[in-house]
Structure 1
Amino acid sequence: MSVTAAGGFDHGAPVESGALRATIARRAAGSGLDPAPAPAPSPGAIEGDFDVVVVGAGHAGCEAAAACAKLGLHAALLTVNLDDTAKMSCNPAVGGIAKGHMVREIDALGGIMGIVTDRAGIQFKMLNRGRGPAVWSPRAQCDKPLYSREMTRCLAALQGLVRIAGVANHVRLDRGRVHGIELADGRFLR
């Protein structure tokens, strides 16, 4: 897997680890963050070997991890708190003109957000009925705790997907490629 950096770099070009370290050091200077790499974890602290490690169990992370598992990859989904998987914002809506289009695209590609929304929805409405059909858009208001539980249930049913509670501390690079993720508690995912 190539590592790419945002902010001033070509997003498609691989970034050498030295350049990435320099960028991190430059951005961290004066921020109070320590740009120095942490010591390597002990070999006994390895949590698992994975084809893919997805950091963050929000909507996008859940979809990414589910897609990897459906492709037959051994995937890890790392999140700070397993109970906050797919936690919805203060407005628990799925749909609308923009997000509704995205959800339909995700559904067409085999995603699970639409399925979970159908299970956790408490109000379904077609928006913009007073305007032309070009701007009509379905929207569902969801039960926030139920949405999270249903997403957790869908993820648990996927073979090859492991959910892990932890905080990503460092991305380990080897010759410009990701070698693994070091967690704040010393565990290592690769």
Structure 2
Amino acid sequence: MPGMVPAGYLAKRVEPNTGWLANDQVEDIYALSNCISDDFGDFTEYWKHNNYWLFNSPAALRSLAEEAGLDLTGTKLFYYEVFEQEYHTAGSWQPFTVDNGLHTRVEVPQTKQLEGFDIVTFSLGPVPECSCLSCNLMAELVPVNRHCLLHTFEEAYSLLSADVFKDCEPGPYRIFAVYSQIEQ
């Protein structure tokens, strides 16, 4: 996909309870945000994450989990790529930078399974905040897949450009490709 940048890895406790969401298609929540599907633990205090607040490799994530005593049991490992521009509610796409001094050299996985695309808010800078699809219940209004993600990049880009998410959490908004990490 043009314009997608490797962002990193995160282990999440995928939320299987979706009864609160008025969408029978959704079986679980693969959102990047920590609002519904929890991250594997509070890792930020250790400052081992990268500029995207993710991990450069599965090994780096596992190493931090072991060092910090964070249990990975019951988590699913995801790999993320982010579109190189963010959408501002003023109706414009603009490049963004995430250089906050954290080491960022993401290892791209040899095998990965694209699960869909998430729209994530970034009103406070580099930290991923809410997923408009799950946190703001937009999955009740726009077609999503069984993981509460958009099917294509083009859908995500078009919906943002049409200001469909303007009444969600404050932007800017970024598009993330969400991949299941296939272990070898």
TM-score (norm 2): 0.24
Higher relative contact order (CA 8 A, sep 6+): 2
Output the TM-score relative to the length of structure 1: 0.24
